[in-house]
């Protein structure tokens, strides 16, 4: 049975990965922000793969918070691998903002990418940097870093959802599609993969279109006969909306 170290396992993508991974085939080692470096080393020694999802994404975080979460932890992982003479394949979640580097988030993500790149090339070990656009899906926190999740929360709670500029263009990826890709790469032992990976299955939309779709969902959420017709993005949004509606009603 292979062991997978998942950093940030209590985060948005991490929680979705843990829900989907087959525990009959993989032993999951969970590392989160309050765990010690001793724990990290213990898990690294046991790991066959590392899925490095931990990182700071909140736009109001300080430069030090971005650096600690996005760079320092990556350095610690690589240092511990080198200390123990290990060459363990790594998947790291990065962002398209790493290419732009317009803010501290993008700059620290790029630094983390370069650390993984150097580790992979120096050790001739397969690793993958997932450069992700904006992510939506079940389990993301409202009022955190996702406008879709915040607007879904507002819609269900009869709060206003309003786009400052309806024409702003956005590119999204569905969290379950990310998880499927990660599990496929691990299953295939990273064969035929490039170091930098930008998902092809993404959705280009506008803020105004998202508002209109969510308003439609709100009007039809209690209609058992309502279906989404012939639109993959809209269907995934609806699955996300109904999941939040269900969880909020349970509470």
Which parts of the chain have pLDDT scores under 70?
A: 56-62, 248-251
Cα–Cα–Cα angle for 181, 187, 188, rounded to 5 degrees: 90
Tokens of 237: 């949004």
Residue 70: helix, strand or coil by DSSP?
Answer: helix
DSSP labels, 103-149:
SHHHHHHHHHHHHHHHHHHHHT--EEEEEE-EEE-TTPPTTTS-HHH
Q: What is the pLDDT of residue 112?
A: 94
Q: Report residue 211: phi and psi, to 5°.
A: -55, -50
Q: What is the pLDDT of residue 58?
A: 66
Contact by Cβ (8 Å): 31, 9 = yes
- Same fold across 1-132 and 134-172+202-251: yes
Q: What is the pLDDT of residue 154?
A: 95
Q: What is the pLDDT of residue 190?
A: 87
Query: What is the CATH T-level fold of the domain 134-172+202-251, as seen in this structure?
Result: Rossmann fold (3.40.50)
Query: What is the CATH T-level fold of the domain 1-132, as seen in this structure?
Result: Rossmann fold (3.40.50)
Cα dihedral across residues 129, 178, 15, 28: positive or negative: negative
Q: What is the pLDDT of residue 240?
A: 96
Q: Which is nearest to 129 in space by CA: 142, 140, 139, 118?
A: 118
Q: What is the pLDDT of residue 61?
A: 63
Cα dihedral across residues 237, 242, 247, 249: positive or negative: positive
Contacts of 236 (CB under 8 A, 6+ apart): 136, 137, 174, 176
Q: What is the pLDDT of residue 133?
A: 95
Domain boundaries, the chain: 1-132, 134-172+202-251
Q: What is the pLDDT of residue 248?
A: 67
């Amino acid at each position: 049975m292979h062991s997978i170290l998942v950093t940030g396992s209590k985060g948005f993508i991490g929680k979705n990965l843990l829900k989907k991974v087959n525990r009959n085939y993989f032993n999951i080692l969970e590392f989160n922000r309050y765990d010690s470096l001793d724990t990290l080393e213990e898990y690294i020694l046991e790991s066959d793969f590392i899925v490095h999802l931990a990182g700071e994404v909140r736009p109001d975080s300080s430069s030090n918070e971005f650096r600690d979460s996005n760079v320092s932890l990556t350095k610690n992982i690589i240092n511990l691998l080198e200390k123990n003479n290990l060459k363990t394949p790594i998947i790291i979640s990065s962002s398209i903002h790493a290419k732009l580097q317009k803010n501290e988030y993008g700059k620290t993500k790029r630094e983390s990418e370069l650390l993984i790149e150097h580790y992979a090339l120096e050790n001739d070990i397969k690793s993958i940097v997932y450069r992700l656009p904006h992510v939506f899906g079940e389990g993301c926190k409202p009022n955190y870093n996702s406008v879709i999740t915040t607007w879904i929360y507002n819609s269900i709670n009869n709060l206003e959802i309003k786009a400052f500029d309806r024409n702003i263009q956005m590119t999204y990826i569905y969290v379950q599609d990310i998880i499927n890709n990660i599990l496929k790469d691990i299953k295939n032992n990273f064969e035929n993969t490039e170091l930098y990976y930008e998902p092809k299955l993404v959705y280009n939309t506008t803020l105004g279109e998202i508002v209109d779709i969510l308003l439609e969902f709100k009007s039809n959420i209690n209609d058992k006969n309502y279906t989404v017709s012939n639109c993959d993005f809209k269907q995934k949004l609806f699955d996300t909306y109904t999941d939040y509606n269900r969880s909020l009603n349970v509470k």
